[in-house]
Chain A
Amino acid sequence: MCGLCGLLGEDVHWSDPLGDELPRRRERLRRIAAINKVVAPFRLKVEDFQGVSYLLLGATGKQELASGLDQLWQRAEQLIGRPLDPLDERLLDHLEQHP
């Protein structure tokens, strides 16, 4: 547990913060902000849930909870009904146009 934030933390994942310069909660918010940039063109939004899970919000009001990044992508796919592909040219165009 992080003594500063009182977070139990997520499951261990390779993409976890490398150092401990920033408090864990802030690292988590940074990650969620980055994820939101990617999922925005699919009309999805991601919020933190108690510092352990991600809450995915769809445009039609559907919600999903996900634990860890791998599950997050899986749940996002279920919500939008197609793969969230980082090689999708429309997504790349969107990211370039909306820095």
Chain B
Amino acid sequence: MSIALNVITGFLGSGKTTLLKRLLQGETLGDTALLINEFGDVGIDHLLVEEVAPDTILLPSGCVCCSIRGELRDALTDLLQRRARGEVPAFRRILLETTGLADPAPILATINNDPHLRGRVHIGLVVTVVDASHAALQERLHPEWMAQVAAADRLLISKTDLADEDALRTLQLRLHSINPAPVLTTDSIQSGDQLLLGDGLHSSDPAQEVARWQLMGVRSTPARHGEAQVCCLTFERPLDWVAFGVWLSMLLRCHGERILRVKGLLNVNNSHAPVVIHGVQHCLHAPVHLPQWPGDDHRSRLVFIVRGLDTALLRRSFEVFSERLALAPREALA
């Protein structure tokens, strides 16, 4: 059976380790394997976490964004082998803490593309911790901040005591305008909360997770130079899955770095139930079928979080490809 891998990310000093430390004190994390990264030789994270859980596994020193791709795969394979041999307890999920400078996309790509890991591990939730006191500055100075926020399935605001109420409200609105994922504060997380450690779209009820995305409530935002922008596309008629696959794979190949996130609820030809897709940058997860439509609106809906991409052109491209590439089954054989 495939094991969920949840990713906890957040910019340097946002409070990821503090959160994990608190989570580890609860009993709900007893059957979790924790993968953390030592950053450089200082190893502060290592010192903070090592004493808290007996089955903690440390990756060799090195920055997650430059070296995790190979090492993460090795570490996960090793961990799964040890689990199979009974050398470590049969954990139910894996928690991976990234370093503060990591872009989550390569981590997700490693899990999705590695033939040995693909069937054994799947991505659960991506949780991003946002430092309330430094968010505005980090957004302005560090592009990784936006990539982490856009990739999140859950957003957790930390250090709320260091920011005043107005600043906190502004930050919440800002986060909501970028990524309509549920926003919580780290104070409200006391133990291994299911909202935080759930299985996302792989849970027994994927419709609940899709409802949290609030796709119907998302509105496109205007372009501002250098900033992330939300773009909603809707399509009245059922989509041709072949044409859609050709369009999106081509788009992600060419503009993957600029597409920070994509989520969609699609009405596909010959399918009475909606198909859910979601991905981060180049990496798109396998589509999930929902048992039924969440409401009366059966239009296909795609939400992109993009940076530096002409959204009017994106809209036109989607419409042209959907209409012109859709083929009758017989046409292909002509």
What is A's interface to B at a CB cutoff of 8 Å?
12-15, 17-19, 21-22, 26-27, 29-35, 37-38, 69-70, 73-74, 83-87, 89, 92, 95-96, 99
Is B253 on the interface with A (CB-CB < 8 A)? yes
CB distance from B204 to the nearest CB of A (A): 21
Q: Which residues of B contact A95 (CB under 8 A)?
A: 320-321, 324-325
Q: Which residues of A contact B327 (CB under 8 A)?
A: 30, 33-34
Q: B118 to A87, Cβ gap below 8 A?
A: no
A84 to B255 alpha-carbon distance, docked (Å)? 10
Q: Which residues of A contact B246 (CB under 8 A)?
A: 15, 31, 34-35, 38, 69
Q: B245 to A31, Cβ gap below 8 A?
A: yes
Is B248 on the interface with A (CB-CB < 8 A)? yes
CB distance from B290 to the nearest CB of A (A): 12
Is B313 on the interface with A (CB-CB < 8 A)? yes
Q: A73 to B249, Cβ gap below 8 A?
A: yes
CB distance from B75 to the nearest CB of A (A): 23
- CB contact under 8 A between A38 and B250, given known A18-B271, A33-B331, A86-B321: yes
Q: B250 to A96, Cβ gap below 8 A?
A: no
Residue in chain A with minimal CB distance to B277: A14
CB distance from A6 to the nearest CB of B (A): 18
Which stretch from B97-105, B189-197, B280-288 is at the chain A interface? B280-288
Of the A-B pairs whose beta carbons lie under 8 Å apart in the complex, a sample of 6, sorted by A's number, is A14-B284, A15-B249, A30-B242, A38-B250, A69-B246, A96-B320
Q: B317 to A87, Cβ gap below 8 A?
A: yes
Q: Which residues of A contact B331 (CB under 8 A)?
A: 30, 33
A85 to B251 alpha-carbon distance, docked (Å)? 7
Is B275 on the interface with A (CB-CB < 8 A)? yes
A70 to B251 alpha-carbon distance, docked (Å)? 10
Is B243 on the interface with A (CB-CB < 8 A)? yes
Q: Which residues of A contact B329 (CB under 8 A)?
A: 22, 26, 30
Total number of residue pairs linking A and B with CB closer than 8 Å: 99
CB distance from A14 to the nearest CB of B (A): 5
A32 to B243 alpha-carbon distance, docked (Å)? 10
Question: Does more than half of chain B's interface fall in helix, strand or loop, or is it mixed?
Answer: helix
Q: A27 to B268, Cβ gap below 8 A?
A: no
CB distance from A57 to the nearest CB of B (A): 18
- CB contact under 8 A between A18 and B241, given known A73-B249, A96-B320: yes
A86 to B310 alpha-carbon distance, docked (Å)? 12
Q: B254 to A34, Cβ gap below 8 A?
A: no
Q: A83 to B254, Cβ gap below 8 A?
A: yes
- CB contact under 8 A between A31 and B242, given known A18-B268, A95-B324: yes
Q: A14 to B287, Cβ gap below 8 A?
A: yes
Q: Which residues of A contact B250 (CB under 8 A)?
A: 38, 73, 84, 86
Is B84 on the interface with A (CB-CB < 8 A)? no
Q: A15 to B253, Cβ gap below 8 A?
A: no
Q: Which residues of A contact B254 (CB under 8 A)?
A: 73, 83-87
CB distance from A92 to the nearest CB of B (A): 5
Q: A14 to B285, Cβ gap below 8 A?
A: yes
The 3 closest A-B pairs by CB, nearest first: A15-B245, A30-B332, A33-B332
Q: Which residues of A contact B241 (CB under 8 A)?
A: 15, 17-18
Q: Which residues of B contact A99 (CB under 8 A)?
A: 324
- Identify B317's interface contact among A34, A74, A86, CB under 8 A: A86
Q: Which residues of A contact B235 (CB under 8 A)?
A: none
List residues of B (284-302) whose CB comes within 8 Å of A's CBs: 284-287, 289
Q: A70 to B249, Cβ gap below 8 A?
A: yes
Is B316 on the interface with A (CB-CB < 8 A)? yes
Q: A87 to B271, Cβ gap below 8 A?
A: no
A38 to B244 alpha-carbon distance, docked (Å)? 12
